Amino acid sequence: MGSATVRGGAVIGAVVLSLLAVPAPAMGGEAPAARSAGLRAPDLTGVRGVLRAAGRQGAPGAMARIDDRGGVRRAAVGVADRGTGRALADEDRFRVGSVTKTFTAVVLLQLVDEGRLKLDDPVERHLPGLLPDGRITVRHLLSHRSGLYDYTNDMFEKTVPGFEAVRDEVFTYRRLVDRALQHPPTDAPGAAYRYSNTNFVVAGMLVEELTGNSVAAEYRDRIFGPLGLHDTFYVHPGTRIPGRHARGYLTPDEAGAPLVDSTRQTVSWAQSAGAVISTTRDLNTFYSALLGGRLTSAARLAEMTKWVKVADSQAYGLGLRRRDLSCGVSVYGHTGAVQGYYTYAFTTEDGSRSLTALANTSNNGTVLNTMLGTLESAFCGTKGKARGGSGESVERYEDVAPQVVVGEPAGS
């Protein structure tokens, strides 16, 4: 399918690259393709086909859950645990990776709502001396336009050795930022969208500086508790997923090498950029609540959904992705890739229909690409472009084409 490509010497899927490093030209005025009204019925058969294809392509298990105005549809294939053969099911908790970024953005936007900072504040005002460029603002961080280098590029250049080197490591935020600052900036502040975990590490530092509390406490008190997300946790630096969970299986770079059980890890390399644990149900509840306006003021949600176009069918807001599907429907949420787990968690513009899909493998661009098909089946119904049967790519390769930056967007 032509999706294998190279990032810092490591093989990842084209879809991964498309999410990571696509400079973008404009912000603010770029409208979603269509509103969510008049959605077609979800195509659960299509979803199942996609999950089965992911299984054939190397995922030990794959599952999806659709919450639609009180109705629930679930599908799962394969196993949560290759050792015991236990089947993967909706109740299984898993690591959500960068879906964490939306949680972190929500906490910061609530703090903006409370008047404790402004989106256009320089980071320097709150964390003096941390960053070398005083022009970097909070908005730049949350929209991946700070120009701060992503330290994970070096860290995971070699997939399994990179992972094993940090599996039990406990980093301070500052150590992670220092790793990023060993590299020159990738762009001037505000000039370009370039996905970087460093942005959300600094965002976590801001949360802790402004509140005097850990991000764990802020997630709990502001989001997990109020929404009743009883299967959602932030256990850093703990290494275990509490309770019933899917084990994660990392795909080595070397073809044919056995999968590595990557379940146990600190995720300290990501923290506020990627260490939340959750379930399909809780992520659907979270994104429905967010887009439904139950977590921030309308004004802050409007800020969160000012889009930078990052590819033909993708845009980024503040800790939030938008995907424009083949049927003209746009959906909002985030993706996650943490060792052993790929997540898609998206909802409609009004939060009325949500889908979360998980495959318990990673470093397998084919599976990641295939899983995108769950969105097509969930939100476009039988008209969606999911092609689970053939395993053919839904994402087009040209989505990775970089776009030229034309200048500083208004209000940035």
Active site residues: 98
CB 272 within 8 A of CB 218: no
Out of 46, 49, 97, 185, the only residue in the binding site for ligand HEL (CB under 6 A) is 97
Burial class (CB in 10 A: 0-12, 13-18, 19+), 18: buried
Name residue, tokens 């909706």: 90
Residue 201 in tokens = 């590490």
DSSP 340: T
Q: Residue count at the site for ligand HEL (CB under 6 A)?
A: 22
x/- mask, ligand HEL, residues 40-79, rule CB under 6 A, reads ----------------------------------------
Do residues 69 and 44 make contact, with C-beta atoms less than 8 angstroms apart? no
Judged by CB under 6 A, the stretch of 12-20, 231-239, 322-330, 398-406 that binds ligand HEL is 12-20
Q: Which stretch binds ligand HEL (CB under 6 A): 77-85, 119-127, 228-236, 329-337?
A: 329-337
Does 195 contact ligand HEL by CB under 6 A?
Answer: yes
The contacts of residue 263 (CB under 8 Å, 6+ apart) are: 241, 245, 247, 248, 340
Burial tier of 175 (Cβ tally within 10 Å: 0-12, 13-18, 19+): middle
* Min CB(122)–ligand HEL separation in Å: 25
Segment (H or E) for 250: strand 249-250
Nearest-angstrom CA–CA distance, 361 and 366? 11
- Shortest separation between residue 298's beta carbon and ligand HEL, angstroms: 26
Q: Which stretch binds ligand HEL (CB under 6 A): 10-18, 186-194, 222-230, 297-305?
A: 10-18
Q: Is 156 in the site for ligand HEL (CB under 6 A)?
A: yes
Q: Which x/- pattern over 213-252 shows residues binding ligand HEL (rule: CB under 6 A)? A: -------------------------------------x--
Which of 3, 159, 280, 347 forms a contact with ligand HEL (CB under 6 A)? 159
Q: Is 263 in the site for ligand HEL (CB under 6 A)?
A: no
Question: Interface with ligand HEL by CB under 6 A: which range of 65-73, 217-225, 332-340, 380-388?
Answer: 332-340
According to DSSP, the β-strands at 277-278 and 71-78 are unpaired
Distance separating alpha carbons of residues 255 and 237, to the nearest angstrom: 32
Q: How far is the CB of 5 from ligand HEL (least distance, A)?
A: 11
Q: Give φ, ψ of 111 to 5 degrees.
A: -65, -35
Give me the helices (H) in 194-244, please. 197-211, 215-219, 225-227
Residues that bind ligand HEL in the complex, under the rule CB under 6 A: 10, 12, 16, 19-20, 97-98, 152, 156, 159, 162, 195, 197, 250, 274, 335-339, 362-363
